[in-house]
Amino acid sequence: MNPLSSICIIISFLLLFQCLEGRSSSRSSLILRSCEEAAKSDPNLSYKLCLASLEANPKSQNASFEKLVAISIGLSISNATKIASKISELLKGQSYDMQKYARSCLKDCFQLYMDAVSSLKDAMRALKSRDFATANMEVSSAMDASSTCQDGFKEKKGQASPLTKDNQIFFQLTAFSLAFINMCHGG
Least confident interval from 8-12, 26-30, 89-93, 97-101: 8-12
The helix (H) or strand (E) run that includes residue 40 is helix 29-41
Would you state the pLDDT for residue 17? Answer: 38
pLDDT per residue as tens digits for the range 80-116 = 999 999 999 999 876 545 678 888 999 999 999 999 9
Of the pLDDT bands very low, low, confident and very high (cuts 50, 70, 90), residue 156 is: confident
**38: exposed, middle or buried (Cβ count in 10 Å: 0-12, 13-18, 19+):** buried
Residue 119 has pLDDT above 50, yes or no: yes
- 77 and 118 Cβ atoms separated by less than 8 Å: no
Would you state the pLDDT for residue 141? Answer: 97
Of the pLDDT bands very low, low, confident and very high (cuts 50, 70, 90), residue 55 is: very high
Q: What share of the chain has pLDDT > 70, as a percent?
A: 81
Angstrom distances, CA of residue 122 to CA of 65, 81, 111, 135, 141: 19, 15, 17, 7, 11
Whole-model pTM over 0.85 = no
Q: Which domains does the chain have, with CATH numbers?
A: 28-185 (1.20.140.40)
| Amino acid found at 38 | A
Angstrom distances, CA of residue 15 to CA of 20, 22, 42, 89: 9, 10, 38, 45
